[in-house]
């Protein structure tokens, strides 16, 4: 519809002024609905070119545009806006397009031939995936789906590190619990991992090997813990319905010397210096607030250095766009990484960093206190078992990424309209039930859809296509959850006030069946993007 309107405006400009204007024509919804459905400021843009007053241009273009069947009415507003009210026939034509395209309605090719790498989760294998990891996992998966619907070639990547101090502490924690299980003395490490999952791994070792592992090295226990935990992580990811294309291990950056390449290239730009036996990135020279240590005095790199090297590999692998999904704890680090990437000759604007805020679990209106290191946390798998995967996926993205999320367990377990995802799925199931009751005529008289509630519903349905395009630009998936909830709400109200199946008026029945079939397609496509099921019965 948007494309059709722009083409009509272009045709009118050429007809009236005999010019093929290459100016980008902007059309948008007026803030005040009374002003119409669509508005354009093209007269303001043309004023200088055709040497006329914008209002005069509006009047002249209005005369040309009045011949189009797309518009029901055209009004003019100061200082030079043309406001359009769309005709019923143009709206119903859009319904035919929805039913024709069905599962492909909303897809576009705006990202054609562009490769995107979406990095998310990226949790080191030191423990099970928590609800905190879960929010990033669902956001990353849905954003990947959104980009695919916009024609991008998308790859999902999980970046992790199985070396370093955290992993050493993990191995020592397991070794300690193994010894304890055999009633042998062994000091539990300071800042060790106290979760029950460590005891579970130790118990499985006792069951399989008894006391035959007492002479095994610390590395054995570290590797064993990693194997168990990563297996559990992948099992949880499968439960979430998430499949990664790549698993990238940070150790590769050490083995292939990529981190030292970074140091050399930054040094060539005189952005590296030594201080207190440490290696520093002179970030203040390029406008950053402070310099950063890249290699400690002990010779151990800080996490910024491999992160810089890792992002450099993304460009080397030929991705046109890189999307990073990080938790709020990355807020301070990523600007330094992007600054260094730019100095390495890459376009930092091709990296889109999305920071999601933390999540709290509410139980009986009380926040459940969680700490991964202390072992008192709720795993993502347990949450899925408690409330179901559809609820988890919807709740994790129904609020703005920038907002802290309170996950209300009581609401999540509701099987009523109070639960937003239940409310949406029920709309889909209700339509499926109606469609099963009536034989469907593929060419109904859509001009009969002239009730105000029907017109409002059609307007809302055809916004889906533009929403999908918009989501590829702003990557805010909560806009889709909000849209689906509002669409379900409009449908439920329409169902309650308009008789869809009218045994005394088969023509109107067929037209309304066509309309609700369109609603079902939009609900189904939206839920598919969210990775949520579309039940036919509830």
In a domain, 376, yes or no: no
Share of the chain above pLDDT 70, in %: 97
Based on the fold, state whether residues 52 and 106 are members of the same structural domain: no
Q: What is the pLDDT of residues 367-426, one digit of tens each?
A: 877 655 555 578 999 999 999 999 999 999 999 999 999 999 999 999 999 999 999 999
> Within a domain: residue 517?
yes
Q: Is the pLDDT of residue 59 over 80?
A: yes
Question: Could you tell me if 442 and 510 lie in one domain?
Answer: yes
What's the domain range around 499? 92-110+416-530
Do both 173 and 73 map to the same domain?
no
Q: Which of 209, 240, 271 is the last residue of a domain?
A: 240
511 and 437 fall within a common domain: yes
Region of residue 254 (phi > 0: left; psi between -120 and 50: alpha; otherwise: beta): alpha
Looking at 42, 68, 85, which one is the last position of a domain? 85
Tell me what the mean pLDDT of segment 337-360 comes to.
95
> Which band of pLDDT confidence, cut at 50, 70 and 90, is reported for residue 250?
very high
Instruction: Kindly tell me if the per-residue pLDDT of 3 is higher than 70.
Output: yes
Handedness of CA 379, 385, 390, 391 (dihedral sign): negative
**% of the chain exceeding 90 in pLDDT:** 79
- Tell which residue, 407, 391, 398, has the closest CA to residue 358: 407
Domain identity same for 71 and 175: no
> What φ, ψ does residue 251 adopt, rounded to 5°?
-60, -30
Q: What pLDDT is stored for residue 376 in this prediction?
A: 56
Specify whether 36 is located in the same domain as 100. Answer: no
DSSP state of 152: -
Q: Which of 210, 240, 270 is the last residue of a domain?
A: 240
The CATH number assigned to the domain holding 501 equals 1.10.730.10
Cα–Cα dist 251/266, whole Å: 21
H/E run at residue 173:
helix 165-181
Whether the predicted pLDDT of 343 surpasses 70: yes
Q: Is residue 271 part of a domain?
A: no
pTM across the whole model = 0.90
What is the domain-level CATH number for residue 62? 3.30.1360.70
Mean pLDDT score of the chain: 93
Give the residue from 442, 457, 513 showing the smallest Cα distance to 88: 457
Residues 420 and 507 in one domain: yes
75 with 175, same domain: the answer is no
- Looking at the predicted structure, is the pLDDT value of residue 303 above 60? yes
Burial class (CB in 10 A: 0-12, 13-18, 19+), 234: middle
464 and 515 share a domain?
yes
In a domain, residue 300? The reply is no
Is residue 205 in a domain? Answer: yes
Q: Does 443 fall in a domain?
A: yes
Give domain status of residue 50, yes or no: yes
As for how many domains the chain has, the answer is: 3
* pLDDT tens, position by position, 454-508: 999 998 999 999 999 999 999 999 999 999 999 999 999 999 999 999 888 999 9
Do residues 55 and 101 both lie within one domain? Answer: no
Same-domain pairing of 15 and 36: yes
Q: Could you read off the pLDDT of 76-86 as tens digits, one per residue?
A: 999 999 999 88
The answer to the question of residue 404 being in a domain is no
Distance CA 358, CA 350 (A): 26
Same domain, 99 and 77: no
């Amino acid at each position: 519809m948007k494309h059709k309107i722009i083409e009509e405006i272009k045709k009118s400009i050429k007809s009236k002024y005999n010019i093929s204007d290459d100016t980008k024509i902007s059309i948008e919804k007026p803030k005040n609905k009374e002003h119409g459905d669509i508005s354009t400021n093209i007269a303001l843009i043309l004023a200088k070119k055709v040497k006329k007053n914008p209002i005069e241009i509006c009047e002249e273009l209005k005369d040309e545009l009045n011949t189009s069947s797309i518009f029901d009415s055209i009004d003019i507003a100061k200082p030079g806006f043309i406001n359009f009210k769309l005709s019923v026939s143009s709206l119903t034509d859009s319904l035919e397009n929805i039913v024709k395209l069905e599962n492909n309605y909303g897809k576009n090719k705006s990202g054609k031939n562009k490769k995107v790498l979406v990095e998310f989760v990226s949790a080191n294998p030191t423990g099970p995936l928590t609800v905190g990891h879960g929010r990033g996992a669902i956001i990353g998966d849905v954003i990947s789906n959104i980009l695919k619907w916009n024609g991008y070639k998308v790859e999902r990547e999980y970046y992790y590190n199985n070396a370093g101090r955290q992993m050493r502490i993990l191995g020592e924690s397991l070794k300690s619990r193994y010894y304890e299980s055999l009633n042998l003395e062994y000091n539990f490490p300071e800042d060790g991992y106290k979760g029950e999952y460590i005891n579970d791994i130790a118990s499985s070792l006792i069951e399989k090997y008894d006391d035959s592992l007492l002479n095994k090295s610390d590395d054995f226990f570290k590797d064993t813990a990693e194997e168990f935990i990563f297996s559990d992580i992948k099992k949880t990811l499968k439960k979430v319905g998430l499949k990664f294309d790549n698993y990238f291990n940070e150790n590769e950056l050490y083995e292939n010397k990529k981190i030292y390449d970074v140091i050399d290239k930054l040094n060539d730009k005189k952005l590296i210096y030594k201080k207190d036996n440490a290696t520093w990135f002179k970030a203040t020279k390029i406008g950053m607030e402070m310099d950063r240590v890249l290699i400690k005095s002990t010779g151990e790199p800080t996490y910024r250095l491999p992160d810089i090297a890792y992002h450099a590999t993304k460009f080397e692998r030929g991705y046109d766009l890189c999307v990073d999904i990080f938790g709020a704890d990355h807020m301070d680090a990523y600007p330094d990484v992007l600054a260094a990437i730019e100095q390495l000759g890459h376009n930092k604007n091709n990296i889109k960093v999305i920071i999601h805020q933390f999540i709290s679990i509410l139980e009986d209106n009380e926040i459940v206190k969680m700490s991964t290191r202390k072992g008192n946390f709720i795993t993502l798998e347990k949450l899925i078992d408690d409330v179901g995967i559809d609820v988890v996926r919807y709740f994790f993205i129904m609020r703005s990424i920038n907002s802290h999320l309170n996950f209300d367990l009581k609401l999540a377990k509701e099987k009523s309209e109070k639960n937003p995802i239940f409310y949406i799925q029920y709309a889909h199931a209700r339509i499926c039930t109606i469609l099963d009751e009536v034989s469907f005529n593929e060419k109904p008289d859509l001009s009969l859809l002239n009730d105000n509630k029907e017109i409002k519903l059609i307007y809302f349905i055809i916004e889906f296509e533009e929403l999908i395009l918009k989501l590829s630009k702003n990557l805010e998936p909560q806009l889709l959850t909000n849209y689906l909830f509002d669409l379900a709400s409009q449908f439920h109200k329409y169902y309650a006030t308009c008789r869809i199946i009218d045994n005394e008026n088969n023509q109107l029945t067929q037209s309304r069946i066509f309309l609700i079939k369109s609603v079902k397609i939009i609900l189904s496509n939206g839920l598919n993007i969210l990775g949520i099921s579309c039940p036919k019965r509830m």
